[in-house]
Amino acid sequence: MSSLPELPRRTRLSWSGMTAELTRDTLTETGVVLTTGTPEAGMAEQSHVEIADPGFLLHDYLRRMRSVLTALRSSAAADSRAAPGWPESVLHLGAGALTLPRWFQWWRPSVRQTVVDIEPELVEFVLEHLPMQPHPRNVVADAAEVLAPGGALSQERFDVVVVDLFNSSQAPASLTSREFFAHVLSAVSPEGVMMVNFGDDADMGFARGITRTMLAAAEEASARNSHAHHDGRPTTLVSAPGSVLAAREEGNLVFAFSRRGFTEQQLQMMWAAGPHPGEVLSGEELHAWAG
């Protein structure tokens, strides 16, 4: 798809009562922005889609996720993640305008994708005006419940699980608890990775706290997994702009967990792939940053 749809388009989201709107982006020639909000509180940008090039990712955190994934696939390390078929399945908790699912489809056309969003109308609204083929499987559910025991996806496993649900300390406790991340990690396949997008104000108090929560959940998951073979390699990392990690500026960070661990070569490839300026923290350095 290379031509822009007729915009703006909007719809009411029944779960939250907010309005979702697709509008032209002013930064690129064929960009479309999804915003959500209310007239009283204002509209907030949720996603950017580049219609002419799904391989283009505008936002810093998406490019950092891409760096993690491409490093795992292209690494010279002799493990199955470097095989042509990886990843075969992806779960997205939080749909937005399906920016990352579009990138996955461009990068790995055969990948099977599932998106979860609590708003019943959102995914169909986005696909009506910004089509993609094939459609990802669309599950309307609360992300805090969908992977918990008895949840709709509790018995499934995925090579990549992406959590893109919150962007500040205002996130609900049900999406930031150790129990929630334990359920998410249980959905990660033996070869798989989890990636989480989260943001904070410049003080990084929330970011450090939720990183400690995710580190604890990851350590518990590794201890329970008798099939883990990471040979002492770090299983967790955080990638973010240097000014954000130094608590000088607000911004977004990416937390990643790998069941097999990250080799030093992979970590170097992730840093080299950027975006720059930025840092990739792992091991003792990450634990020290999280406090």
pLDDT at 229 over 70: no
pLDDT tens-digit readout, 34-46: 999 998 889 999 9
Q: What is the mean pLDDT of the chain?
A: 93
Cα angle value 197/39/62 (rounded, 5°): 15
Q: From residue 99, give the alpha-carbon distance in Å to each of 38, 53, 66, 104, 119.
A: 23, 11, 12, 9, 17
pLDDT at 141 over 80: yes
Find the mean pLDDT for residues 72-97.
Answer: 78
pLDDT-based confidence at residue 2 (cuts at 50, 70, 90): low
How much is the pTM?
0.94
Specify the pLDDT at position 76: 43
Find the mean pLDDT for residues 276-282.
Answer: 97
Specify the pLDDT at position 78: 47
Specify the pLDDT at position 232: 83
Specify the pLDDT at position 275: 97
pLDDT at 7 over 70: yes
- Contact partners, residue 288, CB within 8 Å, separation at least 6: none
pLDDT tens-digit readout, 158-204: 999 999 998 888 899 999 999 999 999 999 999 999 999 999 999 99
Specify the pLDDT at position 227: 57
pLDDT at 135 over 60: yes
What percentage of the chain exceeds 70 in pLDDT?
Answer: 95
pLDDT tens-digit readout, 62-82: 999 999 999 998 864 445 455
pLDDT tens-digit readout, 208-221: 999 999 999 999 99
pLDDT at 225 over 50: yes
pLDDT at 83 over 90: no
pLDDT at 21 over 60: yes
Residue of 210, 209, 199, 200 lying closest to 175 (CA atoms): 210
Over the range 117-146, which residues count as b (16 or more CB within 10 Å of their CB) and which as e?
Answer: bbbebbbebbbebbebeeebebbbbbbbbb
Residue of 105, 118, 102 lying closest to 58 (CA atoms): 102
Specify the pLDDT at position 198: 97
Specify the pLDDT at position 25: 93
Q: For 42-51, 83-92, 272-281, which range has the lowest pLDDT when averaged over its residues?
A: 83-92
Going along the chain from its start, the domains and CATH numbers come out as 57-290 (3.40.50.150)
> Could you identify the residue written with the tokens 């003792």?
284
